[in-house]
């Protein structure tokens, strides 16, 4: 896997440029044995899901279409407070004690951005909205943006009754504005390239139940992020190569398909050659 794969991410098979949303599906098979329990995403009273039929599938744990901004309140101040309400979250809501990065994220109309490949996805008469981390000084707060959702605590099942999923699939749509600066991106400061750790642009991450206390030191994490890769064949660097991170601090968080942490065993350098 090399730059051809990267291009397929930036330019979809239907010819959309990077201005357009693309959908990312990831299967994370974290452990042997799939529990064959059947449920569905818990329904939001009076708030139908944009993909109602999909969310009613028996294998679905959780759905969020971000179409109801009132489910993501933020109160600016010191400290900033906010929450995420969804009946699929433990207790129906994850509150400020487990939230961070609240000031730098917003729920915006999808019309703010280029049209998604499948078009608008309203929830009935409720207009389509999206989650956005706002790092644009012209438009609002800058900094790390986050919305944390607790699905269950240790020893518990999910709200819909399903047992803890050790093998799971995720799907989301992703878009960055054309002026987006990745870590190590010379776009905003070409002299900063090569600065320490231009490696880590987290997008969506997953944790075990203990993760909300200290995600970095949770017993494992898994997620999609972008990292910086040097293509030795073309003497070029790319700050936006898609990677998937798994593992824990003890094994220095392996990432694939580009694993600079893998050492001499089980090497994965598919963005190479190296």
Which positions from 213 through 232 interact with another protein, judged by CB under 8 A?
A: 215, 218-220, 222-223
Closer residue to another protein, CB minimum distance, 58 or 76: 58
Contact 80, 74 (CB under 8 A): yes
182 binds another protein (CB under 8 A): yes
Angstrom distance (rounded) from CA 72 to CA 50 = 17
Contact 106, 140 (CB under 8 A): yes
Q: For the segment 9-28, give every residue that binds another protein (CB under 8 A).
A: 9, 12-14, 16, 21-28
Q: How far is CA 67 from CA 41, 64, 72, 158, 260, in A?
A: 16, 8, 10, 23, 39
Q: Which of 211, 229, 240, 241 binds another protein (CB under 8 A)?
A: 211
Angstrom distance (rounded) from CA 169 to CA 125 = 29
Q: For the segment 25-54, give every residue that binds another protein (CB under 8 A).
A: 25-32, 34-35, 41, 48, 50-54
Minimum distance, C-beta of residue 58 to another protein, in the bound complex (Å): 9
Contact 116, 20 (CB under 8 A): yes
Angstrom distance (rounded) from CA 165 to CA 180 = 34
Closer residue to another protein, CB minimum distance, 220 or 238: 220
Closer residue to another protein, CB minimum distance, 83 or 123: 123
Q: Which of 18, 47, 173, 269 binds another protein (CB under 8 A)?
A: 173
Q: How many residues bind another protein (CB under 8 A)?
A: 145
4 binds another protein (CB under 8 A): yes
Q: How far is CA 139 from CA 68, 107, 135, in A?
A: 21, 13, 8
Q: Which of 18, 71, 87, 244 binds another protein (CB under 8 A)?
A: 244
Q: For the segment 101-120, give every residue that binds another protein (CB under 8 A).
A: 101, 104-105, 108, 110, 113, 116-120
Neighbours of 35 (CB within 10 A): 11
Closer residue to another protein, CB minimum distance, 52 or 81: 52
145 binds another protein (CB under 8 A): yes
Contact 74, 103 (CB under 8 A): yes
- 85 bridge partner residues: 93
Closer residue to another protein, CB minimum distance, 95 or 177: 177
87 binds another protein (CB under 8 A): no
Angstrom distance (rounded) from CA 141 to CA 119 = 28
């Amino acid at each position: 896997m090399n730059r051809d794969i990267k291009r397929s991410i930036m330019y979809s098979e239907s010819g959309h440029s990077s201005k357009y949303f693309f959908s990312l599906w990831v299967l994370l098979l974290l452990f042997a044995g799939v529990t064959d329990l059947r449920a569905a995403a818990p329904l939001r009273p009076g708030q139908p899901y944009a993909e109602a039929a999909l969310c009613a599938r028996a294998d679905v744990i959780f759905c969020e279409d971000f179409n109801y901004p009132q489910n993501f309140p933020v109160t600016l101040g010191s400290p900033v407070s906010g929450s995420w309400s969804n009946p699929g979250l433990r207790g129906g809501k994850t509150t400020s004690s487990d939230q961070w990065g609240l000031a730098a994220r917003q729920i915006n109309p999808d019309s703010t951005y280029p049209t998604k490949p499948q078009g608008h996805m309203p929830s009935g008469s409720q207009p389509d909205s999206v989650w956005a981390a706002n790092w644009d000084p012209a438009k609002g707060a800058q900094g790390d943006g986050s919305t944390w959702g607790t699905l269950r605590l240790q020893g518990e099942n999910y709200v819909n009754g399903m047992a803890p999923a050790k093998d799971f699939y995720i799907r989301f749509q992703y878009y960055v504005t054309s002026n987006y600066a990745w870590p190590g991106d010379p776009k905003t400061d070409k002299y900063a390239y090569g600065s320490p750790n231009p490696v880590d642009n987290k997008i969506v991450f997953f944790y075990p139940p203990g993760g909300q206390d200290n995600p970095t030191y949770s017993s494992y994490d898994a997620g999609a992020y972008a990292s910086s890769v040097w293509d030795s064949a073309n003497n070029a660097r790319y700050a936006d190569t898609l990677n998937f991170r798994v593992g824990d601090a003890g094994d220095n968080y392996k990432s694939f398909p580009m694993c600079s942490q893998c050492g001499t065993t089980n090497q994965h350098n598919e963005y190479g050659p190296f």
